[in-house]
Structure 1
Amino acid sequence: MSTLRHKIVVTQRFFDATATDFLKRHGCEVIVANLAPGQADGDLSEPQLIDILKDADGWIVGHANITSSLLGSLPRLQVIARRGVGYERVDTAAVEAAGKVATIAIGGNDASVADHTVALMLAVCRQLKRCQSGLSAGDWSIPLGGDLYRKTVGIVGLGRIGRGVLQRLSGFEVQPLIYSPDPQKALLDVTPQAGFVDLETLLKESDFVTLHAPLNTQTQGLIDAHALKLMKRSAVLINTARGGLVRDADLLRALRENRLAGAGLDVFESESDRALSPVTEQLIQLPNVVVTPHVGASTVEGLNRTNLIAAECVVAVLEGRSPPSHCVIADGRRPVGADEKP
């Protein structure tokens, strides 16, 4: 007789053996959804998700929308664990109203995204795209790039990833400028050389602007036509956070009008609004734009770390315990004795 008590459905690729074995050791059956090539769980319709998850006690999810109607159709589901840190697609109020728990994998992919951010900075300023395409066409002429060394770098948002970027940039002897909604909290472990400024000052003075803020109602469209006009013509914009932070059509216009030197983009507005796909396609074609398909967190090591964190959160909830508090974004479970009369 099987000792497996819970069914866990994973709708993400690259779920490794260590995380799978951890779940199995804790009495869980692991089902990895069979997604089509190139398909992500964010592409699945609500009926498709319901069909996949109808018998699940736990769900390890990527970018699917977690809505009230979806949760209402999954009474058995107890915990939703995001293998990542952004949760703008999770209706946390709906999770709590449904009596379920939602978590994120804080601390798993910070280093991977910070590395990728610096890689994009270097790729853009050293014109690696032009070099690659030129050599592919047999053209050995040398495009002149620029240095990251001793430049002014504006960091928008100083959470774990922003701090990781700041740490990595110290070796380039950059002058960091930081915009944070909570500078006193961010100052706790930042070097004295980091200057906190308002967003306008950061945009005007930075040679590189890199975004590491969460996507919410305050940050949606943070970098728009007005913000881009404040930036130097020689500046480079980097976005490895969320596509909605930047108005991509405004960015495309600024690049075409030579009001910006270049951009490095791992995320796009079209990820959540397919009507903007033509804008993304045009950005991809620009010679001074280096793009990647939302892979900043996708290293073997980074995914292994986030897989295990998500698995640990799932097991904690199913065993009646609390996951690490910094991972919990919604907890609708009733406290023990909540229904008892005094």
Structure 2
Amino acid sequence: MKKVLVSNIMMLKEKDRFDKAIRDLEYDPVWAAPDQFLSEQECLDLVGEIDGWLAGDDRITASVLEAALPRLKVIAKWGTGIDSIDLEAAKRLGVEVKNSPAAFANAVAEVAIHYMLSLSRNLVEIDRAVRTGAWPKPQGIELTGRTLGMIGFGAIGQRIAELTTAFGMDVIFFDPFQKDAKQLLGKDAHPVSLDEIAERADIICLACSYNTDNHHIVNDEFLHKVRPSTMIVNVARGPLVDQAALVSALKGKRIAGAGLDVFETEPLDKNDALTTFENVVLGSHNANNGRAAVEYVHQNTLNNLHKVLG
């Protein structure tokens, strides 16, 4: 019987359910026990005798892939992001890599809107204060008439833009793979340079995939170009933002606030400097966790595995 390694935390949370689903496909599941994802060494300790892999954000390097041969035929990644897999090595070694592109467009876009509303209207700050018996009334800003600057304009970025357009926002975007204007609910979203995003946007939202080319795309230089009224929202990947530079910008009041679902190191340490700012709203890398999206990805990930292993 073919063996399948399961290391994504979403299926691990429902182990009994997916143990049965995998056995129904006539595979023998091998259950990993990652904290969040498997390190390279943890991967090396588990591969070699598996034919398929239901992977999470595991560090699947060229060394891991080489150690997994000759048996490993497919990595079915749970979710959309495949930046933790050495795709070049996988292609060279003949290991298929499959994911679920665009699956989380609605789920992530809705959470991005939450960060924008919470920051612009001080909603989380008010909530914290009311719980202590206070009754604050800080003045916020409306999204209507503001400019959203998207970094990344794939399925998630475009859905975020659609929703903000409904609020009456104007949309500009930076994406090397999307160079034409897009019409959203009767308004045009315009492609611009990264510098123009920094200089023009009232809210800057990251929704791009992560790779070595865009590591720290929001860095100290970028943050020195934004206005003090600008807010940063990241619902993509933590390493897109230089966290130390972001903290420096917050301390210097060079930005108005940040909504962060992802971080350079996860989970975020309870003593991290980001936890000290009232104008920062924190998440737990959970923006994609909508019920409909999750159920679709569960099934699609199993389908991707089965299509290759047979």
Q: What TM-score, normalized to structure 2? A: 0.89
What SS does the aligned partner of 1:154 have?
A: strand
* Distance in structure 1 (CA, Å) of the matches to 2:123 and 2:163: 20
2:295 aligns to what? 304
Equivalences for 1:217-296 in 2 at 5 Å?
217-271=212-266, 281-296=272-287
Counterpart AA for 1:10: V
Deviation at 1:139, TM superposition (A): 1.5
1:108 corresponds to 2:103: yes
Q: Summarize the Cα distance change of 1:190–1:58 in structure 2 as closer, same or farther, 3 Å threshold.
A: farther
Deviations along 1:271-322, whole A, 9 cap, x unmatched? 4xx9xx6798111221000010111112232222222221111111112xxx
Amino acid at match of 2:294: L
Aligned length: 306
Shift of 1:34: 4.0
Q: 1:54-203 to 2 correspondence within 5 Å?
A: 54-75=48-69, 76-184=71-179, 187=182, 192-203=187-198
Measure, in 2, the Cα distance between the counterparts of 1:181 and 1:188.
18
**More moved, 49-58 vs 224-233:** 49-58
| C-alpha contact 1:248 1:279 (8 A) present in aligned 2 | no
**Structure 2 counterpart of 1:210, one-letter code:** C
| Counterparts in 2 of 1:191 and 1:92: CA distance versus 1, 3 Å | farther
Is the 2:162–2:184 contact (alpha carbons within 8 Å) kept by the matching residues of 1? Answer: no
Residues 1:141 and 1:180: Cα distance change in structure 2 (over 3 Å): same
Q: Tell me the residue number matched to 1:10.
A: 6
| Secondary structure of residue in 2 paired with 1:93 | helix
Counterparts of 1:198-217 in structure 2, within 5 Å, are 198-217=193-212
Match of 1:60, SS state, is strand
Q: Sequence identity, in percent?
A: 26
Q: After superposition, what is the alpha-carbon deviation per residue over 1:161-185, rounded to whole angstroms, capped at 9, x for unaligned?
A: 0011011112201111122213346
Indicate conservation of the 8 Å contact 2:40/2:59, yes or no: no
1:119–1:93: structure 2 CA closer, same or farther, 3 Å change rule? same
Shift of the 53–301 alpha-carbon distance from structure 1 to 2, 3 Å rule, reads farther
Cα offset for 1:189?
7.4
Question: 1:247 offset after TM fit, Å?
Answer: 0.9
CA offsets per residue over residues 177-196 of structure 1, 9 Å max, x none?
12221334674878542122
Distance 1:153 1:212 in 2: 12
Distance change >3 Å, CA 243–CA 55, structure 1 → 2: same
Contact conserved, 2:172 with 2:190, CA < 8 A, in 1?
Answer: yes
| Superposed CA RMSD | 2.5
Question: Partner residue of 2:26?
Answer: 27
TM-score normalised over the length of structure 1: 0.81
Structure 1 CA distance, aligned partners of 2:4 and 2:258? 40
**C-alpha spacing 1:30/1:188, structure 2 compared with 1 (3 Å):** farther
Which structure is richer in relative contact order (CA contacts within 8 A, separation 6 or more)? 1
- SS of aligned partner of 1:222: coil
8 Å Cα contact 2:182-2:188 kept in structure 1: no
- Structure 1 CA distance for aligned equivalents of residues 155 and 95 of structure 2: 27
Amino acid in the other structure paired with 1:70: V
Contact map agreement 2:40 2:60 (CA 8 A) in 1: no
Residue 64 to residue 88, structure 1, CA distance change in 2 (3 Å): same
Unaligned stretches of 5+ residues in structure 2 = none
**Is the alpha carbon distance of 1:291 and 1:301 closer, same or farther for their aligned partners in structure 2, counting shifts above 3 Å?**
same
Cα 1:280–1:318 change in 2 (3 A) is farther
Q: What are the superposed Cα offsets for residues 138-177 of structure 1, whole Å, 9 maximum, x if unpaired?
A: 2122222222222111111110100110111122011111
Residue identity matched to 2:247: L
CA distance in 1, matches of 2:142, 2:183: 30
Deviation at 1:23, TM superposition (A): 4.2
Give the AA of the match of 1:237.
Answer: I
